[in-house]
Structure 1
Amino acid sequence: MTEFADKYVNLASPKLGCEVVFATDDSFAAKERMIQDHDPIWVPDKYDTYGKWMDGWESKRRRDGRHDWAIIKLGVMGVIEAVDIDTSHFTGNYPPAVMIEASASEDQPTKDSQWFTILAPTSLGPNASHVREVSYNQPVNWLRVHMLPDGGIARLRVYGKPFCDWSTKDPDEIHELSLMVNGARVLGYNDAHYGKVWSILTEGRGENMGDGWETRRRREPGNDWVVVSLGQKGTVERIEVDTCHFKGNFPESCAIDAACVDFGTTESIITQSMIWGRLMERKKLSADNIHIFTKEELNEFGPITHVRLNIYPDGGISRFRVFGKLAD
């Protein structure tokens, strides 16, 4: 994992709705594999009708002087901070270079649409992760990935901040402020030994126990925690903690702290979270269940921008939802 994976959201995750909608060629390995959430694998003796099975996107060998490219629809509009072009297991068939363009459009862009280069032609090596920072600071939702000239990419991760235009939202309605596609993201946590911690901010219920946040078994005093930056400032109306699939490893209880933070770095906000006010006192949890905590069960609190979910002493959470009304 990179520092960008810890601080930002992978906008190219299928869990957020990302999909590869087009590729000039994927004769050797399907284009959809390039954005899978799990790490690329190597299966020594696996072959299909096209040859060696590879966990990623791989095109045929170019003989015409052209190059291959793919169009990706990101799962959510966002500002990209970095990309990771991973060539794991591609040793003699990786592309020598890659270039990435971006666009913002409701409909699928064409070759004549306005595309902006967010990663100039960049050299790649075999069987390695290539993390590159991006300086383009406008929200986008489409990418065009160019392999120069051909070859295979195991994974493409696109790290950034989800963008939600809250000016179009009704301030009198109740919104899910903690939803990732609404701009929320995980800022930090003390442990995430199993699963993927950012999954707790996604839609729907968990597919399995790996689709959530689970900590190791705690063998010392204390408790585990995760700090979340909400998509927008709001006043909380309801909170949900879902332990779906967690049966012998759910937390005994949880409590929630909160604050309205006007400025600060990720590190300073995490440090300050230790002394935030208590939004919800410690509540019992049970196995494989959606726990709904109404406004009447919460302490009186003004508008907030961040929450800290404390679980006691350890265990797993599938989803964490904070619902509220928008605040100025």
Structure 2
Amino acid sequence: MTETVIRNTMQIPDFVGSNTNLCSPRLGTVALRCSDDSFASRERMLAETDPVFKPDVYDNFGKWMDGWESKRRRYGGHDWCVIRLGVPGDLVGLELDTTHFTGNYPPAASVWASKEEDDPGDASESWEEILESVSLGPSKRHFFNCQKPGPWRWLRLNIFPDGGIARFRAYGNVLPDWTSFGSEIELSGLNNGGRIVAYNDAHYGNVQAVLDSGRGINMGDGWETRRRREPGFDWLLIALGAPGEANKIEVDTSFYKGNSPAKCSVQGQNVEWGTDQSLITQSMFWPELLTPKDLTPDTIHHFELKDLEKIGPISHVKLNIFPDGGISRFRVFGSRL
């Protein structure tokens, strides 16, 4: 069986790389219900992976498609899908991807949002239109600016009149309810607003997984770099969900048995200026929060307060691994400022 993946060379907006995809299932987001998904399940539309095309695969409903696809409408109306965000957040941009949907894409779409904590229902007045009807084309990633302060908890994607969407992504900033936390917070967690800013290499696995909650499921559920064939080391730059003072660090090499790093170190800084791009250079000079420590394959390593250097408040950290390898999970715990 052959799979085809299309990676567009189009220019990607800055909001894609500098914000969190609030529609990620890793955050607990679910496609709760839809008007119809006869051809392709609505859950596929939220997948983190690039959409694929399987030329020879069919199921009971027809051609298998990697996304959400409704049946052909014959009697007016339009299709829709209600999405419950795993965490509330602000919105800065939207992506509607019709990759591989060539003769079955919707020609137009709009997006509604609601701040209700409970299910707003389909006719609630709490729905606000955050993206008015826009035109869509075949097999293309469509990006739209959407500067809408939250906390948004629900999204509704409307397609006109029917068809398929390969991926739907909503980029923004997580807005945790800090009052619900105790004295120790996982400052780096995805669900708490932590995000990957940059990295020098992520050849294998899924780099976003390194900040996920819970434990990895296999070697592909983490950050792994290629085999280094020249001097140096690999690194990962992370923005914490909120500035704070670290009191514990966890480095998990679970599942990495013949490919775990030999050592790791962590640098930190309370960043007051700069851009994501400039932080790559700035981080070269940050003080060490954790001096180089030996790592053991397939092990969860805990570094307590006594193991950490006193560098004061931090908003960003840089995980360095020597010389290369894989990390399943990385966590920075502490108190929020």
TM-score by length of 2: 0.92
1:38 CA displacement: 2.0
Q: What is the aligned counterpart of 2:62 among 35, 51, 66? A: 51
Is the alpha carbon distance of 1:4 and 1:316 closer, same or farther for their aligned partners in structure 2, counting shifts above 3 Å? farther
Kindly report which structure 2 residues correspond to 1:3-18, keeping only aligned pairs within 5 A, or say none: 3-18=14-29
| Equivalent in the alignment of 2:138 | 126
| Structure 1 spans left out of the alignment, 5+ residues | none
1:167 CA displacement: 4.7
| Equivalent in the alignment of 1:114 | 126
Residue 54 of structure 2 is aligned to residue 28 of structure 1:
no
Q: 2 CA distance for matches of 1:71 and 1:305?
A: 34
| Equivalent in the alignment of 1:305 | 315
| Equivalent in the alignment of 2:171 | 159
1:137 CA displacement: 2.5
Q: What is the aligned counterpart of 1:187 among 197, 207, 211? A: 197
Q: 1 CA distance for matches of 2:253 and 2:15?
A: 27
Q: 2 CA distance for matches of 1:241 and 1:186?
A: 16
Deviates more, 1:19-28 or 1:130-139: 130-139
Aligned residues of 1:7 and 1:188 also touching (Cα < 8 A): no
What SS class does the counterpart of residue 139 from structure 1 fall into? strand
Amino acid at match of 1:106: E
1:37 CA displacement: 2.0
1:238 CA displacement: 0.7
Cα displacement string for residues 273-318 of structure 1 (whole angstroms, at most 9, x for unaligned residues): 1101111100011111101011111112211111111111111111
1:178 CA displacement: 0.7
Identity %: 52
TM-score by length of 1: 0.95
Aligned residues of 1:12 and 1:157 also touching (Cα < 8 A): yes
Cα displacement string for residues 151-185 of structure 1 (whole angstroms, at most 9, x for unaligned residues): 01111122222111325544xx1111111111111
Aligned residues of 1:253 and 1:311 also touching (Cα < 8 A): yes
Q: 1 CA distance for matches of 2:221 and 2:265?
A: 22
1:143 CA displacement: 0.4
Q: 2 CA distance for matches of 1:98 and 1:121?
A: 5
| Equivalent in the alignment of 2:3 | none
Q: 1 CA distance for matches of 2:263 and 2:98?
A: 42
Cα displacement string for residues 226-285 of structure 1 (whole angstroms, at most 9, x for unaligned residues): 111111121111100001111111111100001112233222333211101111100011
| Equivalent in the alignment of 1:39 | 50
Q: What is the aligned counterpart of 1:231 among 220, 223, 241? A: 241
What SS class does the counterpart of residue 284 from structure 2 fall into? helix
What SS class does the counterpart of residue 296 from structure 1 fall into? helix
Is the alpha carbon distance of 1:287 and 1:5 closer, same or farther for their aligned partners in structure 2, counting shifts above 3 Å? farther
| Equivalent in the alignment of 2:83 | 72
Aligned residues of 1:29 and 1:54 also touching (Cα < 8 A): yes
1:41 CA displacement: 1.7
Aligned pair count? 325
Q: 2 CA distance for matches of 1:312 and 1:302?
A: 25
Amino acid at match of 1:292: H
Q: What is the aligned counterpart of 2:152 among 126, 137, 140? A: 140
What SS class does the counterpart of residue 257 from structure 2 fall into? coil
Amino acid at match of 1:201: L
| Equivalent in the alignment of 1:326 | 336
Amino acid at match of 2:17: D
Residue 308 of structure 2 is aligned to residue 262 of structure 1:
no
Residue 246 of structure 2 is aligned to residue 243 of structure 1:
no
1:131 CA displacement: 1.8
1:98 CA displacement: 0.9
Q: 2 CA distance for matches of 1:52 and 1:191?
A: 36
Aligned residues of 1:197 and 1:212 also touching (Cα < 8 A): yes
Deviates more, 1:78-87 or 1:177-186: 78-87
Q: What is the aligned counterpart of 1:81 among 92, 106, 109? A: 92
| Equivalent in the alignment of 1:285 | 295
Aligned residues of 2:88 and 2:150 also touching (Cα < 8 A): no
| Equivalent in the alignment of 1:273 | 283
1:319 CA displacement: 0.6
Deviates more, 1:110-119 or 1:161-170: 161-170
Aligned residues of 2:116 and 2:126 also touching (Cα < 8 A): no
Amino acid at match of 2:224: E
Q: RMSD over aligned Cα, in angstroms? A: 1.5
Q: 2 CA distance for matches of 1:87 and 1:213?
A: 28
